[in-house]
Amino acid sequence: MNKSYFNESLLQDINDNKTQTNDYPVFLLPKPIRFWLLMIFEVLSLACSLILLYYLFIDRNLRQSLSNHVIMVLLIIGLFSQLIDIPFYLNYLRINYVWPPITISCLTWWFAATGISNLTNIVMAWASIERHILVFHDQWLLTKRKRLLIHYFPLLTIVLYGFIYYIIILLIFSCENMYAYEFDWCFYPCYYNNKSLALYDTIVNSILPTPIITIFSIALIIRVIKQKQTVHRHFNWRRHRKMVIQLLSITALFLFFNFPMTTLVLANACGLPNGATGQFEFYTYYLYHFVSLLMPFVCLGSLSEVRKKIKRMIIFRTMINVITPGNVLFR
């Protein structure tokens, strides 16, 4: 999520010792509604993420399935948003300033809100590309060496790039941050004042992944339809159906909330004045939080094995409660 263009419009207000201009739009959705809506989804989403990761790690078959690895990565980096970005924002909605008002709070929030968000974009872009390999070119992954080069290495490289890049530009890059604790997101990190770096971060890390995800997801649908209609080539749809549906369901969620954000950021980068779209800006940034909040539920919906395990666990616990000595049914 890139808030720099949105927050930068308030820079003159800070210089003039103001907190808001009379002509700048105000988010009309009441803060209590924003707070409780996020809070409810935050609790449920965090619980769902932890349950999913538990089963994905302890079950050997699920853990070794190549198609699940990108899901595991998305869930893990999503925890940064659920445990850092959203709690900071909830606290800001509650008390109207960043707490605790110290440097590390802003740096941590910037990393979770921008770094992790853009890392999610890039991982999703790679997932949309890799799914073509898993479905149509699985012979490329038959040996351990090929799996290391084609599957593990790109995913590990992307994750390391995201963490190292944002640690460098937030902690090491030579510029002086202005920590405005009275503003959402502490205003914005100082590296956005560097035009070249801001342009690179906005285009490569924030905007570019969205068209990549869109193009390769549509291409996957087209290839699957063509393969099923081609009688001269064998295509095991039942074998690959789960992987295709898994990617498309996550992609649909991602694009639903991310496409408006990408459009807005691109428009701002091309010269659209901040505040020109009115309430659209506020709703776009607010609703983007639901990418990380709804992702675990979409992943759960695409993992039938995990759903079955959860159902068995619920049934087992229910039976234990029923047959417990002293239960009224057995008196």
The residues, any chain, with a CB within 8 Å of residue 108's CB and separated by 6 or more, are 84, 88
DSSP secondary structure letter of residue 142: S
Phi-psi region of 174 (alpha: psi -120 to 50; beta: other; left: phi over 0): beta
Q: Domain 30-142+151-307 sits in which CATH superfamily? A: Rhodopsin 7-helix transmembrane proteins (1.20.1070.10)
- The domain segmentation of the chain, as residue ranges, is 30-142+151-307
User: Quick check: 281 and 240 in contact, CB under 8 A?
Assistant: no
**Residues 26-54: tens digit of each pLDDT:** 788 999 999 999 999 999 999 999 999 99
User: Quick check: 169 and 189 in contact, CB under 8 A?
Assistant: yes
Backbone angles phi, psi at 235, to 5 degrees: -135, 115
**Residues 269-312: tens digit of each pLDDT:** 788 887 788 888 889 999 999 999 999 999 999 898 899 988 88
More confident residue, 262 or 130: 130
Q: Which pTM was predicted?
A: 0.89
Structure tokens at 33: 């509604």
Q: Which amino acid is at 77?
A: I
The residues, any chain, with a CB within 8 Å of residue 10's CB and separated by 6 or more, are 20, 21, 24, 183, 187
**Residues 109-145: tens digit of each pLDDT:** 999 999 999 999 999 999 999 999 999 998 999 999 9
User: What mean pLDDT comes out for the span 48-74?
Assistant: 95
The CA–CA distances, whole Å, from 100 to 1, 97, 182, 183 equal: 22, 9, 11, 13
DSSP secondary structure letter of residue 242: H
More confident residue, 318 or 251: 251
